[in-house]
Structure formats: structure tokens, C-alpha cells
Structure 1
């Protein structure tokens, strides 16, 4: 097969060029159709149980993703100027397209609950107009402090900050809406500072900046690689060839991804920057060996064929092993990670294909003058890398056992570091510390109970069973009427709402014959009994459990505040009675609860009740505010609830579940980590088998896995020791480590074995190995590492993380290959080369 590829490349160079142009530009035509997606929810399949429940709760309670606008005045927000700015900003936000106007929460749009006459409530807008003087502002402050639902949610307890919660129809519009709000806020005068944060705006802003970063990092990486190869090979025309391969690979892969209908997620946005350095690896080997083998007078085609024939098998296996590393990501339950793995794997194999057919065609068509110039520059005085490699050769032979002990110690220390790794992520931390969103997040969570949301959802789990029992008793009463006219009327009511049934039965009692009154009264008693049971979350005992659960959450120190129907009922109950704190409590009867809820529905915002409980009172929603969006903190809250429920079992018929973006982030993070571990384990075994097959030797197969094993443990041990969170970018690096760490070992071992067969002398073999093969390996490591350095200047933390750790991976795997492998082979050469 390899001869066909090589002969086609050398004999049909123009056809090779044409094929590359057609494929590249054909797939590039799809790139303008690109669609960006940064929604972490899409890290989970649409059918995943937690995601399905999360979306069900959002729909059932009409919950929208919200932008959080903060107004901070260190002298206090209760002054006419700052309150006027809040009022004006609220009016502007209400006019922005895409904002859910009725649900916007601001001091200007919420109710003040006051005592009315005759045991009723009076609802007035909290701030229909901004105060004209300080006395009115102080009066407003007193009203806010009496409403627990508002305190530390809309106004901070220290009176220095206020928020506007801006619910939006489409979270993908959050960047546009936030920019509109920011522009208007900058025009307002006064002492207050304005901040905008919230997970939706963080995610959408990341998508915008990610798109910009894609257009910067990939070209910068290409430029860095180009300059570096020019330094190594000192020949412009020769260096252009691998750049053509890399650019064609990147463009074709991204074009194919978009053509297949996939959106560009945070993961797939990194495909270009991943492929750019990887795509030139094989070309560097070819150029390095060609420059070493070619001598004036030789035919360039013959040398190119000889080089590619010699390198074909190790290049194929390095490409396949790298591909296996990335394809292993398809085993994770995270769709964007699967797409990333599949297309990087495709890109690696495409780069191999282009390298095999394009590089020989290109090199063989260089003029004799260009080839002579190449020889003069490449075989001049000794280069710096040659001197370093010579020192490596000497130390690996003279200090083999010391090196083995040193690397063994590093391995043990790395294992300890791995045990310290903490799994954690937070989309807001995807930005640098000085980014406006990150600053806003820190400022507002300092003043408030928290801008991160989670929803604790409690459900009446035996509702259907209660309904079935009700229908059974209802039908039994009708059957006792022996098909009378009344029975027919009652049968028509059998399947309607129980509350409507009670009303209809009550009407029938006015016109019923005396003989049927007893039956109707019996039915009315049955209906009333079951209605009370079905209105599960109006029962005082169940509400008391919710209130105790909320209090327990606050006492953990992990939750800033909880808002639920119990807080609303207590507030209404207080105003219905004395207005004093002694009546801030739950009513003792179900009728008292019903009265409080009925009173609230005469407010300006009756829909707020249905954010807390559904109309059948069979499910309630506790809004939990957290000052941190870190997965670790959300996980601790979940654990705290589990501990509370284990000590205080849920009432009969009650079940518990979670929803909210902060919770969903925990779900996909856990799924990703477990998936990554499974994919890494399975891919490790596959690569080991491939190595044994490639070298037809169990010993050489194990040797090939040595750099991979040490590099993975070192990198992840380093992550544990420095306290870097194990987040999404770090998890994905395992695939790259798996693929690239074994590449250098394959080339080193394959060339060592072939040279040893020629020399029959290990020292001479190592001397030759640390010449051209060693240069090719070290240059590849440097090219890949430097290729990722543009990421270090990105404004987005995941890109910086990838840049830092990929450079570390390359350095570690190259050092282990060039120092550890020869040291091990030197100590155990009697067994390794016994054949």
C-alpha cells in the first residue's frame, strides 16, 4: 500500500496538488455556515434524565434564564440619585427586545405588601417613582427590610447594592442584551457602579470571545510554527510544504464538521489549534531525514522515496495511536467531547494522508540549486540542539541507573499529586480575573446572598394513587344510585377537576330531592377530603418540613439564601394579622394557608406564586442562591440536603429532586470525568496492544508505553500539587497526552531497533540515535509546544490552560523518551536485545 501512495505522489505531483485544492476549498465552502454553541446544558444528551427534568421544571414554573444587573453605591443605594438611576435603567431594560417584561425583578417592578382594612392586604408598587428626597428613600428602605423575599435578593443586607434580575426568552441573546444594558448604564450619572453577570451572559459572552479567539489563535499558531521550522531547516521553500499540509488539514476538518451539521462548541473551537501543530509532526520527520540523507548528485525522487518508505510504518502507527487517543473521547457521554474527539481523530489521519502524498511530490520537485543550499545550511557547523543531544547521549549511558531512580521518584511523587486532584468547574472562571464578568461576579456575590441559582424541587409522588382512590370512592357512590337521573349528572363530573366537582355538587344540592341530599353530602365530604390531600403543599405539616429544610440549608454556611412559598405565606400571614414579627409564621390550618395564597393572588405580580408552586399544589420549588458557581460547592449543598433527609425523612408521599444551571453543571462535569477515565483506560489498553503488534515484541510494546505512562502521571500529578482544578480542558488533555506521548517513543524505538540490527553495538546505536532521529524528535516536541504558545495570550482561561499544559506534555514526553528510554534499554539491554 505504501508503495502505491509513494509512487502516486512522485509520478502524479500535479494531480496531488489538484486533489488537495479541490478537497480543501470544497470543504472550506461550508465554514461561513458556522454556528456557535456555548451552552453547558448541551454537554449532556437531550434525553439525559437530569436535563429532561431541568427543562420540565423550567417550563412548569415558567422559569427563565436571567441576566443579573448589579448597582453598587458604597455610600448606600438609598439616595434619590442612585434610586433614580435604578428606575431609569429598569425602564430601558423593559423596552429591550427579548426581555420577559412581566417577570423582571427590580425595585420598580415588585410589590410592597401592606396591611389593608378588614383583615385584607394592600399591594402597592415598591417604587413606582424614584424618591424625591432622602426621607422618602429611607422610608423605601424600611419597606424593603420587611420583605424577606426581597432582602439580599434585590437589595443587599448592607444597603450598598441593588440588583435587577432580567429574565430573557432566549439565553443565546444574553450577550446582545447585556451589551445594550451596559451601554445605557454607562450614560447614567451618579456615584453608583454597574455590573453585569450571571451564567447565561457568561456563557454567551464566552461564545462571542471564543469566536474571536478562533480567528486569532490558529493563525498565530501557524505563524509561530512557520518561524520555528524556518529556524530549524533554514529553507523557506522547504518549510512552506508542511504549512500547506497543516492549513489544508485544519480547513478541511473544520469545514467537514460544519458540513455535518455540528455546532462549534467550546471543545470543537479548539480543533484548529490542536491540529495545527500535530499536522506538521510527520512532515518534520520527513524533512529532517531527507536533509540528513540527501547528498549532491543523488536523485531527489529516489531519496524522497527512500525516506518515506523508511518512515511510513512509524508515521502510520503514531498517527493511528494519536487518533485512538482522541477517538476514545467518543466513549464519553458528553456530545461536544465526542464530536471533538471524532474530528480531531479524522484530522490527524487526514494530515497523515496529505503528508504521505504531498511531501514527497513537493520535495522531489525542488531544484538542484535549492537542494544544494539546503545541504550547505543543514550540514554546516554543529547546531545547539546537536550539542544538547550529545550531552543527552553521554548522560543516558553514564548515569542510566541514576536516571531510572530519578524518574521512578518523579512517578511516585506524581501519584501522590494525582490523589490531591479536585474536580471542579465554573463557567464564570473561564474568564481572566480582570474580565468585567469575573469582576461583577466577585462584587455582587460579596454584597448579596448569591447570583448562582439552584432549584430544590419537591413533589407529591403518590398523587396518582390518591386520585385513583378518589375516583374509586366517587364511582362507588354513583353506583349506589342505581342509574338514576342524578347518577347520570354526576358521571359527567367524574373526570373534571376536583375543585370544579365540589362547586358543581354544591350547586346540585340546591335543586336536589331530599332523598338525594344525603348522597350529595357524602360525595361533597369525599371530594373535600381528597382535595385537601391533593393540595399537598398547602398542608401545614408539609410546609413546616419545607421551612425546616430551608433553615437547615442556611445553617450549613454553603447557601446564601433560600426563597420558597413558605416565605411568601409567612409574610402574607404577618400582614393579615398584627404586622409584627410574632405573626411571621405558617398558619396552623390548611384553610389559613389557602387564605394567604388567595390574598397574594390579588397582587400586581400574582404569577410569582406559580414560580414557587404549581397550580395543583402537587409540586413546589425552592430557589437556592449561592455565592459560588463552583461544582464543588454545589456538590456540598447536594450532600447537605442528603444528610438532612437521612436524619429527617421526607414526609409520606414527598420526593425530592434538583434542577437549575448550577446543578446541571455538576451533572455534566461528573459524567465527563467518569467518561474520560473510562475512555483513557480503554484507549491505554488498545494502544498497548497496537505497540506489541507494531514491534512484534511484548518487551518493546511495554517500552513504548513507558513515556506515555510517566507523562500522564507527571502532568496530572503536577495538576494535583499546584491545586489546579480538574476541569473540562484538563480532562480533554488526557486524550492528547495519550496520543502524542507515545509518538516519540515509536520513532525512537523503531529507529533504535533498526540501527542496532546494523551496528550490533548499543553505544554506537545510541550515538546514531542522538543524531538525526533525536533532532527530529526534539524539534517536533518544540514545534508542537511553541505552536500552542499563542494560547497563553488568550483572554479565556480554558485556552490558556490548554496552552500551558500542552507545552508541558510535549516537554515531559520528549524528555522521558530521550532520557528514560535509552537509560532503561542500557540497563536491561541484555534482555531487550537478546535476539
Structure 2
């Protein structure tokens, strides 16, 4: 049998690495210095726009909304006040409103106290007809007429903003802050401090999609750090306890550090930033490094302790020659698997694909720099005068592994057929899994975030903020206002039934300046003027709110005026229901005017999660194609490539199908599971195929070659898998559900991959080789 690329020992390369080992070590250490300095410029982009491709139509519409109306980042500072609609309650509201307005990054504020100022335009505190003024100018101003319970106009005005600035029961207040794009992070931090200053008995909370996203970033960053340190710590502990070789731990640590610095510096050079999904980068690097180093450690131990061998340069050269090419191809296939994410329409996923592909290549360089030098250090385990312990007698684990592999080989055809059927069935089940696109569902029900939203949705009617943008005439006419009001009534009548629960969902609030104009027209004085005049007066009273809903200034050349309708919906609405409601709103909008847009923060968040889940199937297909091509080139066999793809696809499909049977669904945590799991699990397949083809080239019969190759790689695979399962299992306690889901799925997939690489892979290889090679019957 002709030796393949991954099975051919490269003794010349290994000897060169040995001769130049200390120069390579020095080069690696010196090169780390500029990399460490350069990577300090790496930042993190927390903006929602950074998660989309610049050409994404959803993002373009959202940016149009921002450019036209000055931003759409809305957060609400909500608190309880049973005396809200009293002069004292308004005074408290005014104080906190003023504090919110003074925060850098807050473009404008709408609150009850702002409504009092606006209502003075509709119902002045003095009579414009008689000109009478309060007799005592030093006396406090009388209570606002907006607070009057017996004034129909005041009641209509308060009802108009119920759900925005206050609850229907008028005992819950909401200070609505419109944030300036680019300053959201600092503004949210200051608003949190303001919320902390409000007495705790008023139960102040800060909510809104920007807050959700900010909290998600904080949690994911914490989870990423915890995963990185936990994985590295556990892997180091496992290596020390099992191999008892400090050199392996030192090699892993230096390779991880150098590859991380190189990757982060490359990110800066490519003009990218860290994002929502890239916080697990260090953990991914650690996984790839340790998988490679574990093979080196086990092989070095077996060579140095075998009868007649010692830890000599020849032993190290032999180990390097034996593993260099398989490790290289493992890293290349890792890079190919991760590079499949470049096809995603979600920018952070694209960038993550670039980062991890670069990291896989950087790991190759790191191992070149440090392996020969560090592994040539004294092992410290025994002196030359001490006899070497024999590692030739099979222990209980090895006997079990041999029995497991041989049992699989006896039933190779049956196992191969069953695996293909299992792959088809599990893939069919996975394609039918429900998808969860509600961003609020990413947090645990017991978290303060979910509880705050539940309170807001109960008292204010809904925390999901989105918009409809309509073309408007140069002059707002009564006919146009009437059309808009009719359109808004149709929006209020929309209903979507959740097929799983039978619950009916609808928009909880529809608000525009057309509604404000209708209230203002109830004033005898304002009823005689045109809507354009009334809206201009409204702009004078509450300029920020008015400018956020209508373009008053003359449009640019060739442009038109636009009217914005603010929509509210339940943030906890199931993703499928929300998508259907968005679709129905879009249909009505296009019926009103084909130039109308449906956009906003809530729409973007729904589209983001949907895009992630949609792109995962493309990424998985591309990952399988790239990995299959690379394995085909490395092994020189299309049959082996197809078998490797089968054994590396089956684990993730089985795990996802099991999750579906347990009642779970696809969410942010499973969006990249396919490509990531392929990249992480391919290591065992590459090393098995290398060992198998090496044995076949030496004339070993098929079954014996498969048995020897599987048992040879079993120890490093099982040791690395044990540590990784525990490491990723740490994430299952995360308060951010996608992180917990990702940790659970990766841990389960790696465990399944280890078992399949030691059973199904040898059996499938034997099955496909039976027709071309002689078969030795098992005893």
C-alpha cells in the first residue's frame, strides 16, 4: 500500500527541528514580544450594527432610521410611584429626568414631567383669550391641567402615552432615554448609577434591548474567561496526573500563549475587533493545542520508557517524525472547518471564522518554535541508574480498549449500516427542531433581567421596541393624518396565534405624531389650525420626541419627509410568533406605501438570531466539504475521506437530535456548533488514519492495523476528551443560556466523538477496505 501524506514519517524535518531547536525556541520567545505589544490595541465592538454585514438589507434599513431620526437606541428607567400623577410625583420625576438628560450619550428623554410641559401647549396655564395671568407671580404654579381627572383632553393625552412614560394604572413611571449611537455603553453605565440612586422601595430597573445586549456581552466575556482558565487549568492538571511530565505542560502553556498573541495581533492587523462570539477564542486554541500536545506526551512517554530506550535525541526525533505531519494536517483541517464560518451573513461569525482559522495555523508555528527544545529537557522522572518501568503489559484500560475496538471490528458492516441510518434519522430530526429567536429567552427565568422584563411587560404592556417608517408629504395635511390613523388602527387589530399554546399575541402599543395631533386637535384653540401648525407647536414643546417621530427640516435634495410610528410588543414573545407579527406589519406597511419600512432594534435582534441559525447549515456543509477535501488529499483516498466525514458528522447530529427529544430547541448557543465540533473532533480521526495507513504500508493486515491504530491513539484522545468535557461543562452553570447550551453541546459532542473515533471509525475503515484487501478473521 502506498504511504499517504499523513502516514509518511519525515525524519529529515524532525532532525532539522532537533538541530535548530534552541534557535527556534529563541525565535519564538523573541517574536512574542512585538506580538504582545501589537495585540494590546485589540478592542471589542458591542454595537448591534457590528453584528451584520454592511450590505445586509436589514442593517441598511436600520441605519436609515438612525440617520433620519437621530438614533433608535431606547432604554427605560422604570420605577414605582403610587403618587405619580400628583405635583409631588411629577417633581420627583422631573428631578430624575433632569439627571438622565445630563448624561453624555443621552440624546433626549421622554417622561411624565416632559408630558406636563407638552400639555401646557395644548392646555395653557393661562387663558390665551382673556390674557389673564396668575395674580401672584411668586406663588407656586398651579397643578398641571394634564393631571386633571375630569378633563377629557387630559385623559386622552395621558392614555396616548400610557405604556411609554407610565403604566395604565398610573402607578408605574418610565423615563424613556434615547441614546446617541456610539456612546451607548457609557450612557447605560451612567443610567445604571442613576437607577441605583433612586430609593430601593421604588424598585428601579433599567430595561431595553441595548441593556439586554450589554448584559449579554458582560456575561459572555465572563464566561469566556472562565472557560479559558478552566480549560487550561483542567488540561494541565490532567496532563500532570496522567503523564507526570512537566515538559508537556510547559509546551502546552507556551504554545497557547504564543498562538493567542499571534491570533490577537492578526485580528488587529486585519482591522477586526472581538465580538459576541469570539470570547471563546482562547478556549478553542487551548483545545487544539492540548489535543496535539497530548499525542506528543503519550508518544514520548512510551518511547522513552520502552525496553532498550532512553530519553535521547534519537527518541525525540522519532516522536517528532512520527507526529509532525498528522498534527500539521489536523491543524489544517481545523482551519478548514472554522473557515466555513466565513460564509455566514453575521459579521461576528465571519470574523470568528477568520480568527479561529488563523489560530489553527498559528498553533502550527507555535509547536515548531517550542516542541523540540522543551521536549529535549530532562524529564525528571528517573535517573539513568533506575530501571525503566515496563509499559508493555496491558493494564485494565488498555485491555478494555482492545476489547472495545475488536468487538466493533467484528461487526463492522452492521455498525457502518446502523451509523448511516442513524445519521439520516438524526439529521432529519435536527432540521425540524424549533428555533428560539427571542433574545430575552437567552437569560434564565430566575435572573433579575427576566424578572424586570416580566414586571415591565405586565405594568407597561411590552418591552420590545420597533418601528414603521412611512414617506410623508411636504406639508402634513388632514387627509394624510387621517390615512395614518386608519393604518395605525389596522396595526392595533393585528393578531398572531401561537400554535403551541393557543395564546393570541398583538402589538401592545402603536404611537405616532398623528395620535398626538388628534389629541391636540381637541383643544378649541388648536382645532382651528392645520396639522402642520399643531405639529410644529408640539416640536416646540417636546423637541426631542417630535424630531424622533417626524422629519421637520427640509429634506435633502431628492429626499422626502418621513413619519415614524413607534411600535411596542412583548419582548418575551416566542420567536416564531414575533417573526409572523413582523411579517404582517410589513405587509400592511407596503399596502400603505411601497416605500415604507419596518425596522428597529427588536426587528434587528430577531433577524440576527434567525440569520445565525440559518447560516449554521451552510457553515456545516462547507466545513464538511473543506475537511473532506483536506483529508482526501492527506490520505490519498476518497473512501477514507467519506468515512471520516461520517464519523465526525454523526456525533453532532446525534447530540442535537437528543436535545430535540428532550424538548430543547436551536438558539444562539447552537448556531456554530456544527463547524466548531467538526474542527474540534477531527484530531482523533487524523491520527487514527495516519497510524492505520502507516501499518498498512508496513504490510500489516487490515484488522490488526485498525486495532493497533485505534488503541495507539486511544489514550491521548480519552485524556484530552475527559479534560475538555469537564472544561466545557463548566459553562453549563452560566446565567446566559446560549453559553450554557454551547458548553453542554460541545461537551456531549466531544464525548460522542471520542467513542465514535475509537469504534465506528475503525469498523467503517475495515468495512470499506474488505473488498480490496485481505481480511484476517478475529480470534
- TM exceeding 0.5: yes
Matched, 1:306 2:246: no
Residues 196 and 52 of structure 1: CA distance in aligned 2, closer, same or farther (over 3 Å): same
Name the SS for the 2:119 alignment partner: strand
Taking the TM superposition and a 5 Å limit, the aligned residue runs for 1:55-454 are 55-72=63-80, 85-100=92-107, 103-110=108-115, 111-112=118-119, 114-115=122-123, 143=154, 146-170=157-181, 172-174=183-185, 176-189=186-199, 191-294=201-304, 295=306, 296-298=308-310, 300-366=312-378, 370=382, 379=391, 385-400=397-412, 403-404=415-416, 407-408=419-420, 410-454=422-466
Aligned to 1:549: 490
Distance 2:212 2:766 in 1: 54
Q: Write out per-residue CA displacement over residues 672-717 of structure 1, whole angstroms, 9 at most, x where no aligned residue.
A: 4454433332332232222222222222222111112212322333
Aligned partner (choices 510, 513, 526) of residue 565 of structure 1: 513
* RMSD of equivalent CA atoms: 3.9
Residues 826 and 697 of structure 1: CA distance in aligned 2, closer, same or farther (over 3 Å): closer
Aligned to 1:611: 548
Distance 2:427 2:152 in 1: 56
Aligned to 2:557: none
Shift of 1:140: 11
Residues 386 and 88 of structure 1: CA distance in aligned 2, closer, same or farther (over 3 Å): farther
Shift of 1:719: 4.4
User: Residues 68 and 197 of structure 1 are in contact (CA less than 8 Å); yes or no, is this contact kept in structure 2?
Assistant: yes
Distance 1:383 1:566 in 2: 82
**Unaligned residue ranges in structure 2 (runs of 5+):** 1-8, 497-503, 555-559
Shift of 1:371: 7.9
Name the SS for the 1:104 alignment partner: strand
Matched, 1:621 2:569: no
- How does the TM-score come out when normalised to structure 1? 0.79
Distance 1:272 1:427 in 2: 26
Aligned to 1:820: 760
Residues 300 and 145 of structure 1: CA distance in aligned 2, closer, same or farther (over 3 Å): farther
Distance 1:193 1:82 in 2: 15
Name the SS for the 1:112 alignment partner: helix
Q: Write out per-residue CA displacement over residues 630-652 of structure 1, whole angstroms, 9 at most, x where no aligned residue.
A: 65444222221245468xx436x
Distance 1:268 1:347 in 2: 12
User: Residues 230 and 239 of structure 1 are in contact (CA less than 8 Å); yes or no, is this contact kept in structure 2?
Assistant: yes
Q: Write out per-residue CA displacement over residues 280-317 of structure 1, whole angstroms, 9 at most, x where no aligned residue.
A: 21111122122223335446221222222222332222
Distance 1:407 1:439 in 2: 45
User: Residues 41 and 665 of structure 1 are in contact (CA less than 8 Å); yes or no, is this contact kept in structure 2?
Assistant: no
Count of residues in correspondence between the two structures? 740
Distance 2:313 2:356 in 1: 32
Q: Write out per-residue CA displacement over residues 224-249 of structure 1, whole angstroms, 9 at most, x where no aligned residue.
A: 11001112212233332222222221
Name the SS for the 2:506 alignment partner: coil
Matched, 1:637 2:581: yes
Aligned to 1:696: 636
Distance 1:834 1:780 in 2: 34
Matched, 1:799 2:747: no
Residues 13 and 632 of structure 1: CA distance in aligned 2, closer, same or farther (over 3 Å): same
- How does the TM-score come out when normalised to structure 2? 0.84
Distance 1:164 1:44 in 2: 30
User: Residues 291 and 716 of structure 2 are in contact (CA less than 8 Å); yes or no, is this contact kept in structure 1?
Assistant: no
Aligned to 1:519: none
Distance 2:535 2:309 in 1: 97
Aligned partner (choices 13, 17, 25) of residue 17 of structure 1: 25
Name the SS for the 2:468 alignment partner: strand
**Unaligned residue ranges in structure 1 (runs of 5+):** 464-530, 580-586
User: Residues 711 and 812 of structure 1 are in contact (CA less than 8 Å); yes or no, is this contact kept in structure 2?
Assistant: yes
Distance 2:74 2:542 in 1: 18
Shift of 1:828: 5.2
Taking the TM superposition and a 5 Å limit, the aligned residue runs for 1:394-793 are 394-400=406-412, 403-404=415-416, 407-408=419-420, 410-459=422-471, 535=476, 539=480, 542-553=483-494, 557-576=505-524, 593-594=531-532, 596-597=534-535, 600-601=538-539, 604-615=541-552, 618-628=561-571, 631-644=575-588, 649-650=591-592, 654-758=594-698, 760-793=700-733
Residues 371 and 239 of structure 1: CA distance in aligned 2, closer, same or farther (over 3 Å): farther
User: Residues 457 and 656 of structure 1 are in contact (CA less than 8 Å); yes or no, is this contact kept in structure 2?
Assistant: yes
User: Residues 80 and 137 of structure 1 are in contact (CA less than 8 Å); yes or no, is this contact kept in structure 2?
Assistant: no
Larger Rg: 1
Distance 2:585 2:178 in 1: 28
Residues 230 and 197 of structure 1: CA distance in aligned 2, closer, same or farther (over 3 Å): same
User: Residues 325 and 683 of structure 1 are in contact (CA less than 8 Å); yes or no, is this contact kept in structure 2?
Assistant: yes
Distance 2:711 2:584 in 1: 61
Residues 180 and 641 of structure 1: CA distance in aligned 2, closer, same or farther (over 3 Å): closer
Shift of 1:195: 0.9
Distance 1:631 1:374 in 2: 67
Distance 2:140 2:79 in 1: 18
User: Residues 292 and 772 of structure 1 are in contact (CA less than 8 Å); yes or no, is this contact kept in structure 2?
Assistant: no
User: Residues 792 and 800 of structure 1 are in contact (CA less than 8 Å); yes or no, is this contact kept in structure 2?
Assistant: yes
Shift of 1:444: 1.1
Distance 2:752 2:173 in 1: 50
Name the SS for the 1:30 alignment partner: helix
User: Residues 436 and 575 of structure 2 are in contact (CA less than 8 Å); yes or no, is this contact kept in structure 1?
Assistant: yes
Distance 2:396 2:143 in 1: 76
Residues 256 and 540 of structure 1: CA distance in aligned 2, closer, same or farther (over 3 Å): closer
Shift of 1:165: 0.7
